[in-house]
């Protein structure tokens, strides 16, 4: 074990996803000299994770999704990158982290620490002999494995024979993959215990529009049921649904949601609930230790996790200012999310789940407004051509 305690303690950032890299980028706009060390279990290459669920139809390979290679990020942002290094433990009182790489460990000291460890796919128990073949896609490496398993080769003269994919979960990510894969020529089944797609996010009528639009493209829905078992059957997979139906497929993709990765933080004694609990300056329960991104549970969002791009951009900006010496409270603006379902484009601005209210159809096709008990508009959903009304509806909505 190497001990680097004699070196000047840097700002240490764990995680090279959007949250980690955007924090470095924003910090460097304000402070060009403080040493920054970024440790990540992956390659450190910068890519836009949302492209994972619309890359297949565009025939983009995993390598083509990298927008800036790690070496370029290091050069531009003047940061020390420890790629393929995993932080194994933290001591927030002693301000040190134990980092493992190729069987060796070293202890890194830090002046301040930022946790940007992301989220992990939720897995539910599934029976059957091939249950371990159920895949999830939350990283570039996951996408690479998926890409290879589906056998897509953009340079091939003949397109590969269409594959059949069963997606578990009709939420945002499940619907995006369903649209992408069906558009690319795959046969797609989606299984969800609810009665329609995006049931937690959209009013019933909007969900039904999406259901019809994807069905028209060939998606086969299985609502009100779950996957009971996945068995191997001579190269293919046989999926047994809880309602008694069986589906023969080439691949099963689980898209039932993500859970904040609090592994390191909880082991270090930091307060964690649905995510790493942070105050409005993004500080965790330990002084000088901060968190943002998919791993964080924000006081500024009424103790919610917000696993989307816009919250990360806002959080990174506020955190960079705090780290550069100007304590800055994070205030989230209204942050509508665009759902990447070209069969029916959707923009949704969700109200806090604790806000009581009702959905009503707006003044036109494809528009719904969520108003609270005092009649104030607190959210909206736009579909199809009405997505062009995003600005107007954002102005009319109170975050």
Q: What is the contact surface with ligand FAD in residues (CB under 6 A)?
A: 14-20, 39-42, 49-50, 52-53, 86-87, 116-119, 137-138, 173, 261, 264, 293-294, 307-310, 312, 337, 340
Q: Which two tokens stand for residue 118?
A: 């992301």
Q: Which is nearer to ligand FAD, 52 or 170 (CB)?
A: 52
Q: How far is the CB of 30 from ligand FAD (least distance, A)?
A: 20
Q: Which is nearer to ligand FAD, 116 or 249 (CB)?
A: 116
Question: How many whole angstroms from its chain centre is CA 262?
Answer: 15
Q: Which is nearer to ligand FAD, 241 or 278 (CB)?
A: 278
Residue 289 β-bridge partners: 113
CA distances from 200 to 164, 174, 207, 271, 356 (A): 27, 13, 10, 27, 14
Q: How far is the CB of 239 from ligand FAD (least distance, A)?
A: 21
* Residue listed under structure tokens 């964080």: 296
Q: How far is the CB of 190 from ligand FAD (least distance, A)?
A: 15
Q: How far is the CB of 177 from ligand FAD (least distance, A)?
A: 7
Q: Which is nearer to ligand FAD, 86 or 187 (CB)?
A: 86
Q: What is the DSSP string of 90-148?
A: EETTTTEEEEEETTEEEEEE-SEEEE---EEE-----BSTTGGG-B---SHHHHHHHHH
Q: Which is nearer to ligand FAD, 81 or 237 (CB)?
A: 81
Q: What is the three-class DSSP state of 48?
A: coil
Q: Which is nearer to ligand FAD, 100 or 130 (CB)?
A: 100
CB burial readout 6-23, b (16+ within 10 A) else e: eeebbbbbbbbbbbbbbb
Q: How far is the CB of 230 from ligand FAD (least distance, A)?
A: 21
Q: How far is the CB of 106 from ligand FAD (least distance, A)?
A: 13
């Amino acid at each position: 074990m190497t001990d680097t305690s004699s070196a000047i303690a840097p700002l240490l950032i764990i995680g090279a996803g959007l949250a980690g890299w955007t924090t470095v980028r924003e910090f460097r706009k304000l402070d060009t000299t403080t040493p920054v060390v970024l440790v990540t279990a992956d390659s450190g290459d910068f890519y836009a994770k949302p492209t994972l669920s619309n890359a297949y139809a565009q025939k983009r390979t995993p390598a083509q999704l990298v927008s800036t290679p790690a070496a370029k990020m290091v050069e531009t942002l003047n940061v020390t990158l420890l790629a393929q290094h995993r932080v194994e433990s933290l001591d927030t009182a002693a301000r040190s982290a134990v980092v493992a790489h190729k069987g060796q460990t070293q202890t890194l000291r830090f002046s301040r620490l930022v946790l940007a460890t992301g989220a992990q796919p939720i897995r539910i128990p599934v029976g059957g002999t091939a249950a371990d073949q159920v895949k999830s896609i939350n990283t570039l490496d996951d996408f690479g494995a998926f890409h290879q398993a589906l056998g897509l080769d953009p340079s091939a003269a003949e397109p590969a024979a269409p594959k059949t994919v069963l997606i578990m979960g009709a939420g945002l990510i499940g619907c995006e993959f369903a649209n992408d894969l069906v558009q690319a020529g795959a046969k797609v089944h989606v299984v969800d215990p609810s009665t329609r797609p995006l049931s937690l996010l959209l009013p019933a009528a909007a969900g039904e529009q999406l259901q019809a639009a994807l069905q028209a493209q060939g998606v086969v829905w299985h609502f009100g049921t779950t996957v009971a078992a996945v068995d191997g059957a001579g190269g293919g997979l046989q999926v047994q649904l809880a309602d008694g139906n069986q589906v023969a497929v080439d691949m099963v993709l689980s898209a039932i949601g993500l859970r904040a990765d609090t592994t390191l933080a909880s082991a270090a004694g930091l307060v964690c609930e649905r995510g790493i609990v942070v105050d409005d300056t993004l500080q965790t329960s330990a002084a000088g230790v901060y968190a943002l991104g998919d791993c964080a549970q924000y006081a500024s969002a009424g103790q919610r996790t917000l696993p989307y791009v816009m919250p990360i951009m806002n959080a990174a900006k506020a955190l960079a200012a705090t780290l550069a010496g100007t304590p800055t409270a994070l205030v989230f603006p209204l942050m509508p999310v665009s759902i990447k379902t070209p069969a029916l484009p959707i923009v949704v601005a969700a109200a806090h789940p604790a806000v009581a209210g009702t959905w009503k159809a707006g003044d036109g096709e494809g528009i719904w407004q969520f108003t609270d008990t005092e009649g104030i508009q607190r959210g909206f959903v736009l579909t199809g051509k009405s997505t062009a009304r995003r600005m107007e509806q954002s102005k009319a909505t109170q975050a």
